[in-house]
Every structure is written in C-alpha cells, then in structure tokens.
Amino acid sequence: MKGYSEWMSRLIQALSKLPGIGRRSAERIVFHLLKAPGDEVTELARLLQMVKEKTLFCQICHNFSDESVCHICSDPGRDKGMICVVEDPKDVVAIEKTGNYVGVYHVLLGFLSAIEGVGPEELQIADLVERVKNGNVREVILATNPSTEGETTALYLTRILKPLKVKVTRLAHGISVGSMLEYTDQATLARALEGRVSA
C-alpha cells in the first residue's frame, strides 16, 4: 500500500479481513495502536493469543468456554429441563442479553445447507438427541435464524425430536425472515422467546 511501511501495510491488510472492518477502519486501528502506550499494545496482543489458545467448546452444549463445561451448563440455578437450540455461540450472547431466559443451550455450530454440503453429521445434532434421551428435558426451544437454512434446520430437528416425547417449540415470529439473531434488538428477541410456539 502506498505511503505505508511494509509492516503497517501487512497489519492493515490483516485487520481488513475481519468482519465489519474495511480498509479505512483498519487504517484507523493501526494509527491508534501506533500512538497507544507499548504496554497496552502488548496486552492486546497477549489477550488475542490467550483467547485463541484457551477458548474451548463446552463438552455439553458446544458454546465457547474457558473450561470443559461452560458457566451456563455448570450453573445450578439454570433450568436444565429447557434447552434452547441455536446455530452459533453469538446467538447465546444475544438471548442472554434479554435477561428473560433461565434454561440452558445447545449450539449446533452451523445450519443444514445442501448447497454448502452441510448435513446433520456436520452439526452437533447427535449430541442434542442424546441430551434429550438421557436428561429430564421437558422442552426444546428451536431458536435457529429465520432464514431458509434456519427454517430447514428447525423442521429437521422437529422431525427427529418429536418421537422422543419432548415438547418442541419455535421462537415466535416477529423476527424478520432473513435476519440474524445477533442483530435483533433485545426487546424483539425477548418477545419472540416468550411467545414461542409449538414446532
């Protein structure tokens, strides 16, 4: 890039690959880092390294965690009889921000997509079925995104969970079709959670 040293150019290029950060934002970040005290930059670099090295998937729900079992699954105050199924760890954060949900989660780590070659085996569906079979689960809330893939995933899950004699519900509509849970405002998400319907 013209006007930048090789290392600045490489850092701007690397930062601009991050979601939501274009070239101008990457340039501003680099200029900020160059002006910041050295210990702040060192701490940022250390934290990036630690997050990458120390973050695991919870062995129960597959959410991000610092331990083998995440803080939600290990919380005795959470209702283990209610499992909210989401596509991505970001969706857990979105629902938690509503403050209205007291159950636990199951993160699929994706959605069914014939076009992308993602079938049930590539998702954490078998673990969900085992949790329902082995636990005292009363209700499974399907909180997949209201996209074509999310709806397909929810229909598939409904079909395989219903024979297990568990109540299967779906978030109420009010979340626009094609939108993502992580971008839905908290009030809309809370209403959708409260008004969930049988799947």
166 CB-contact burial (10 Å; exposed 0-12 / middle 13-18 / buried 19+): middle
Determine, yes or no, domain membership for 110: yes
Cα–Cα dist 151/94, whole Å? 19
Residues 30 and 82 placed together within one structural domain of the fold? no
Domain containing residue 42 = 6-54
Residues listed for the chain: 199
Opening angle at CA 92, ends 43 and 134, nearest 5: 120
Tell whether 86 and 172 lie within a shared domain: yes
Residue 108 domain-assigned (yes or no): yes
Q: Is the pLDDT of residue 173 over 70?
A: no
pLDDT category of residue 45 using cuts at 50, 70 and 90: very high
pTM, two decimal places? 0.77
Region 42-51: what's the mean pLDDT?
95
Nearest to 13 by CA among 23, 5, 3, 2: 23
Domains in the chain: how many in total?
2
Q: Give the residue with greater pLDDT, 19 vs 197.
A: 19
CATH number, position 25:
1.10.8.420
Is 111 within a domain? yes
What the block records as the tokens of 23 is 């070239």
Residue 162 in any domain: the answer is: yes
